[in-house]
Amino acid sequence: MSTGSLSIYDTKSKSLHTIAGTDGVVRIYCCGPTVYRDAHVGNLRTFLLSDLISRTLQMTGLDVSLVQNITDVGHMADDFEEDKMLAESAKTKVDPFQIARTFEDRFHIDLERLNIEPAASYPRASEKMAEMITAIEKLIAMKRAYVGSDGSVYFDATSFPTYGALSGNKLDSLQPGHRYEFTDEGGKRFHADWALWKLAGARTQMIWDSPWGAGFPGWHIECSAMSIELLDAHVDLHLGGIDLRFPHHENERAQSNSLTGNETVDTWVHGEHLLFEGRKMSKSAGNVVLLQDVIDRGLDPLSLRFALLENRYRSQMDLSWASLEAAHSTLKRWRQLLSNAGTSAEMKFDQEVSDALTTDLDTPRAMQRIRTIEKDSTIGALDKRALFLFADQVFGLDLDRGVEQREVSSEIQALLDARITARAEKNWSLSDSLRDQLTNAGLEINDGAEGQSWSWK
Ligand code: AMP
Ligand code: ZN
């Protein structure tokens, strides 16, 4: 019986990598939120991925040093016309830095509600100007970057021989006019080059002095500068959503490898996207779901974590209210099971759970195993509790939290009693209508082999 090492799918080599780290520590960089709005449940799926990886590595006996940046400048809107922060500021008439701090705080609250362990640091792009400027100067000196005809600084994509190795988008196949071409980047030599430093032009907010004039950094250089500085120029594992593979990570790789002189990132991990009720979440479609919406429906925020665990990170997933509600009720049942079995903190190693998690993070298989243990009448209550606690090291579902006990009023007790009588008399229509009344009062009714039971929703 042993906990093996985590092997996980690397986007670049298209194969599983075993994660060993260096001297027992795994250095992870996860692209963080752009703080002009709340993170939606899709963004949270990606942020949860870093937690599941960290917890699995810790289960295998390794330490983790995780850095997650806060993008508060330089991330342009999809039409590349405007910085997302400034667009929000123009719309709401609130100072862009104030917007950033507000949504940064809310991001941390969401992480806490999802039991995502805090990173070692959360550097803000706006506070790393000196590091970014130094990196850009170095890239110019080594002729990987140049000052364009408009005075802005660009990375010369053709100077980096293995451009495209991560995403498969080789330079000779990239056509001008595609999404990667910034409309406001008229001064570059080649359509696939990208801005490292943009001159302010008419922009007056969120600009900084630089050797090339007042301006602001491009989004991609932020992650190179911060990962190199904070993780000692070597990243064991780099994470982000699948949309970041190109151009963000492809460009980051070109910058970072140029700066460090070697392959800076060992393993690139990308989480697939989350859909909601069959559709891509977008503001225009009006189907953006936040963790707060889950809470407002009376569901435990960890129901989201539960529902996400039931799908593997590498498959696209469709979340629905029905799956969140089902997760909420199973979560309660599991907590009840643990609480009925006492308070022992003892964990019992389970090979199947351990193997599932260390084999490319197969969380659905690990969850299935726990469901099987739940149903297995040959396993005693105390052992079940210990096995659940073992899995919960990574599941992070607070299974040991216990179940909230609230007294019922005498009116509700009368309805519960009446329903027991109605069922004994096989008066199903009365039993159904009493169930509706009890549900409206906030109870959840279950009819099992031992008769009616209830819990608070
Ligand atoms: P942003 O705040 O837009 O910079 O995005 C933060 C993270 O969320 C990035 O790693 C994105 O790749 C990821 N992301 C964006 N949309 C989704 C989605 N629908 N499902 C999963 N991850 C997403
Ligand atoms: Zn990034």
Domain stop point among 236, 271, 306: 271
The whole-angstrom separation of Cα 222 and Cα 68 is: 11
Domain co-membership, 434 together with 347: no
CA of 221 to the centre of ligand 2 (A): 8
Domain co-membership, 180 together with 225: yes
The whole-angstrom separation of Cα 153 and Cα 136 is: 8
The whole-angstrom separation of Cα 69 and Cα 89 is: 21
β-pairing, 215-217 with 194-199?
antiparallel
The whole-angstrom separation of Cα 208 and Cα 134 is: 14
Binding-site residues for ATP, in ranges, read 283
Query: For 171-211, what is each residue's pLDDT tens digit?
Result: 887 766 554 444 456 789 998 999 999 999 888 999 999 99
**The token pair that represents 321 in the structure block:** 């209210």
Q: For residue 389, what are the domain limits?
A: 275-401
Domain co-membership, 11 together with 99: yes
Q: Of all atoms in ligand 1, which is nearest to the CA of residue 33?
A: 2
Our answer on whether the CB atom of 423 is closer than 6 Å to any ligand 1 atom is no
The whole-angstrom separation of Cα 351 and Cα 47 is: 27
- Measured by CA distance, the residue closest to atom 18 of ligand 1 is 42
Residues 6 or more apart in contact with residue 23 via CB below 8 angstroms: none
Our answer on whether the CB atom of 241 is closer than 6 Å to any ligand 1 atom is yes
Our answer on whether the CB atom of 43 is closer than 6 Å to any ligand 1 atom is yes
The reply to whether 184 falls in a domain is yes
Q: Of all atoms in ligand 1, which is nearest to the CA of residue 239?
A: 10
- Measured by CA distance, the residue closest to atom 11 of ligand 1 is 241
CA of 44 to the centre of ligand 1 (A): 8
Residue 437 has pLDDT above 80, yes or no: yes
- Per-residue confidence at 450, pLDDT binned at 50, 70, 90? low
CA of 241 to the centre of ligand 1 (A): 5
Domain co-membership, 109 together with 182: yes
CA of 186 to the centre of ligand 2 (A): 24
Confidence (pTM) = 0.88
Domain co-membership, 234 together with 366: no
Supply the pLDDT for residue 177. 57
CA distances from 65 to 15, 81, 271, 276 (A): 24, 36, 20, 32
Query: For 365-381, what is each residue's pLDDT tens digit?
Result: 999 999 999 999 999 99
Residue 414 three-state SS = helix
CB count within 10 Å of CB 417 equals: 12
Our answer on whether the CB atom of 42 is closer than 6 Å to any ligand 1 atom is yes
Domain co-membership, 334 together with 425: no
Domain stop point among 271, 288, 306: 271
- Per-residue confidence at 79, pLDDT binned at 50, 70, 90? low
Closest C-alpha among 326, 304, 322 to residue 43: 304
Residue 1 three-state SS = coil
The reply to whether 1 falls in a domain is no
The reply to whether 2 falls in a domain is no
Domain co-membership, 233 together with 183: yes
- The contacts found for 445-449 with CB under 8 angstroms, 24 or more apart, are 445/419, 447/423
Supply the pLDDT for residue 183. 47
Our answer on whether the CB atom of 240 is closer than 6 Å to any ligand 1 atom is yes
The reply to whether 240 falls in a domain is yes
Our answer on whether the CB atom of 239 is closer than 6 Å to any ligand 1 atom is no
CA of 123 to the centre of ligand 2 (A): 12
Task: Look at the chain and report how many structural domains it folds into.
Answer: 3
Percent above pLDDT 90 for the chain = 81
Q: Which is it for the CA torsion 185, 189, 190, 194, positive or negative?
A: negative
The reply to whether 435 falls in a domain is yes
Query: 258 and 139 in contact (C-beta within 8 Å)?
Result: yes
Query: For 331-364, what is each residue's pLDDT tens digit?
Result: 999 999 999 999 999 999 999 999 999 999 999 9
Domain co-membership, 180 together with 193: yes
Query: For 396-427, what is each residue's pLDDT tens digit?
Result: 999 999 876 667 788 888 999 999 999 999 99
Supply the pLDDT for residue 182. 47
Query: For 47-68, what is each residue's pLDDT tens digit?
Result: 999 999 999 999 999 999 999 9
- Measured by CA distance, the residue closest to atom 2 of ligand 1 is 33
Domain co-membership, 232 together with 168: yes
> Mutation test of ligand 1: which of 11, 29, 34, 46 has the most ligand atoms closer than 8 Å to its C-beta?
46
The reply to whether 439 falls in a domain is yes
Domain co-membership, 313 together with 391: yes
CA of 384 to the centre of ligand 1 (A): 36
Our answer on whether the CB atom of 431 is closer than 6 Å to any ligand 1 atom is no
Q: Of all atoms in ligand 1, which is nearest to the CA of residue 275?
A: 19
- Measured by CA distance, the residue closest to atom 12 of ligand 1 is 241
- Measured by CA distance, the residue closest to atom 17 of ligand 1 is 42
Binding-site residues, in ranges, read 31, 223, 248, 252, 283
> Mutation test of ligand 1: which of 30, 37, 41, 43 has the most ligand atoms closer than 8 Å to its C-beta?
43
The reply to whether 255 falls in a domain is yes
Ligand showing the shortest atom-to-Cα distance for residue 224 = 2
Ligand showing the shortest atom-to-Cα distance for residue 36 = 1
The whole-angstrom separation of Cα 37 and Cα 40 is: 9
The reply to whether 287 falls in a domain is yes
CA of 147 to the centre of ligand 1 (A): 31
Domain stop point among 244, 271, 298: 271
Question: What are the DSSP calls for 70-109, one per residue?
Answer: BB-S--B-TTSSSBHHHHHHHHHT--HHHHHHHHHHHHHH
For ligand 2, a single-atom ion, the residues with CB < 5 A are: 31, 223
Domain co-membership, 334 together with 235: no
Domain co-membership, 441 together with 363: no
The whole-angstrom separation of Cα 365 and Cα 367 is: 5
Query: For 226-267, what is each residue's pLDDT tens digit?
Result: 999 999 999 999 999 999 999 999 999 999 999 999 999 999
In the chain, what is the straight-line distance between the N-terminal and C-terminal CA atoms, in Å?
Answer: 39
